Amino acid sequence: MKMNIEFLDPNQATIEIPKTEPFIQSAKDISEKVSALNLPNQEHNILVKALLQHTEIARQEAFMSGFSMGAKFGADSAKGGTQK
């Protein structure tokens, strides 16, 4: 029996990385600290944009690292064990 499996275009696939309550609370704490700096609007916006970009990169890298470890573990387990 043949079966066709349609895969998503990897260039169009997305995975949502949920934000946990501790993450949201931490973002609120940072927001309060940044606001307390009383920076001029332009400098405030530059800082916030940089923080958002950094946070997004960190979250993506953490996800990819965990995904890679899980994939390696799964592949190693399928072979009958784990490799170091």
- Taking only the tens place, the pLDDT of each residue in 2-17 is 556 566 676 777 778 8
Question: Rounded to an integer, what distance in angstroms lies between the CA atom of residue 49 and that of residue 53?
Answer: 6
Q: Is the C-alpha dihedral spanning 26, 35, 53, 16 positive or negative?
A: positive
Q: What is the mean pLDDT of residues 18-38?
A: 94
pTM: 0.67
Between the two ends of the chain, the Cα-to-Cα distance in Å is: 38
- Residue 51 predicted with pLDDT over 60: yes
